[in-house]
Amino acid sequence: MSTANVPPASTGLRGQAVGLTEIATVGKAGVGLTYRGYAIEELADHASFEEVAYLLIYGALPVQAELDSFRLRLKQKRQLPEALRKVLELIPADAHPMDVLRTACSFLGSIEPESSFAMQKEVSERLLAVFPSALAYWHHFSRKGEQIATDDDANSLAGHYLTLLHGDAPSEGSRRALDVSLILYAEHEFNASTFACRVCAATLSDFYSCITAGIGTLRGPLHGGANEAAMALVERFKTRKEARAAVLELLAAKQKIMGFGHAVYKHSDPRSAINKAWSQRLSKSAPDGYLFEVSEEIETVMKEEKNLFANADFFSATVYHFLGIPTPHFTPLFVMARTAGWSAHIQEQRANNKLIRPNADYIGPEPRPFVPIEKR
Ordered mean pLDDT values, 10 residues apiece, the chain (376 residues)? 48 78 84 91 98 98 98 97 98 97 98 97 98 98 97 95 97 98 96 97 98 96 90 96 97 93 86 97 97 98 95 95 98 97 98 94 95 97
The pTM of the whole model exceeds 0.85: yes
Residues 6+ apart with CB under 8 A from 353: 201, 202, 204
Contact 265, 313 (CB under 8 A): no
Domain with CATH 1.10.230.10 in the chain: 226-322
Q: How far apart are CA 56 and CA 97, in angstroms?
A: 25
Active-site hit among 96, 140, 166, 223: 223
Q: How far apart are CA 332 and CA 225, in angstroms?
A: 9
Fold of the domain built from segment(s) 226-322? Cytochrome p450-Terp; domain 2 (1.10.230)
Select from 3.40.50.2300, 3.30.300.160, 1.10.580.10, 3.30.70.380 the CATH code of 24-214+333-351: 1.10.580.10
pLDDT of the residue at 18 = 83
Active-site hit among 313, 321, 329, 345: 313
345 carries an active-site annotation:
no
Q: How far apart are CA 130 and CA 76, in angstroms?
A: 10
C-alpha angle with apex 68: 83 to 122, nearest 5 degrees?
40
Active-site hit among 139, 262, 329, 345: 262
166 carries an active-site annotation:
no
pLDDT of the residue at 6 = 46
End-to-end Cα distance, the chain: 20
CA atoms within 13 A on the CB side of 320: 27
139 carries an active-site annotation:
no
The closest alpha carbon to 23, from 190, 193, 167, 245, belongs to 190
pLDDT of the residue at 8 = 52
Q: How far apart are CA 213 and CA 193, in angstroms?
A: 7
The closest alpha carbon to 294, from 264, 315, 263, belongs to 315
Domain with CATH 1.10.580.10 in the chain: 24-214+333-351
Reduced to 3 states (helix: H, G, I; strand: E, B; else coil), residue 24 is strand
